[in-house]
Amino acid sequence: MIDTIRRLRQLVAGTLLCAASAIVLAAPPSLAMVGFELLEDHPDGSRNADQQARLKMIDAEFRKLVAERELYRSVDLAPHQALVDRVRNSTEFLFRCTHCKAELAAGIGSDYVAVGWVQKVSNLILNVNIEIIEVATNRVALVKSVDLRGNNDESWLRGVRFMVRDMAEKRALNPRYGL
């Protein structure tokens, strides 16, 4: 009788865990991705236009892949663009400004806010970084960095694709990863 009750409890606990996981997967939390910035140790004005275009390109790719893999639900920033622009223009680098990220998080009203940056050490050595903040607690939920070799569209895209693939693989193993 005791073994039967124990098995029944395990079955109920397992069912509840599966149901909770299904709820998490069925409704990914909202994420306001406020874009990528460029941190360049040795600025090269002749490459600036290409690099600014790449920042927009990897931002779009990050949003697309996160949505496709249902890691987060993307928040439309258009209604909050004035806030994003004001906060972004108040500091040199948004990713370094803790109170700026908190202000964005509170003003946008999503579950999470993400800030990305590309650190360019040279035209050969770069890395793509992302920081995701939980709005309710202002807690850093995830920080990731991927090293790149080469300053071209393909290397930047490859870096973001690897980052999101790694996030998805880790979330599959741990449903709370990045949350």
Each residue's pLDDT tens digit, 109-157: 899 999 999 999 998 999 999 999 999 998 999 999 999 999 999 999 9
CATH number at 52 reads 3.40.50.10610
Residue pair 135/122 in contact by the 8 Å Cβ criterion: no
Domain contains 4: no
Domain contains 153: yes
Q: Tell me the whole-structure pTM to 2 decimals.
A: 0.81
Those residues whose C-beta lies under 8 Å from the C-beta of residue 131, and which sit 6 or more positions away, are 95, 101, 114, 115, 116, 140, 142, 143
Tokens of 58: 């990897």
Question: How many domains, the chain?
Answer: 1
Angle between helices 98-108 and 81-89 (to 10 degrees): 170
Residue 130, burial from CB neighbour count under 10 angstroms (0-12, 13-18, 19+): buried
In this prediction, residue 177 carries a pLDDT of 95
Domain contains 7: no
* Domain span at 57: 28-173
Domain contains 96: yes
- Locate tokens 């693939």: which residue? 165
Domain contains 140: yes
Which of the residue ranges 4-8, 10-14, 50-54, 106-110 has the most confident prediction, judged by mean pLDDT?
50-54
Domain contains 13: no
Domain contains 15: no
Average pLDDT value for the chain = 88
In this prediction, residue 30 carries a pLDDT of 95
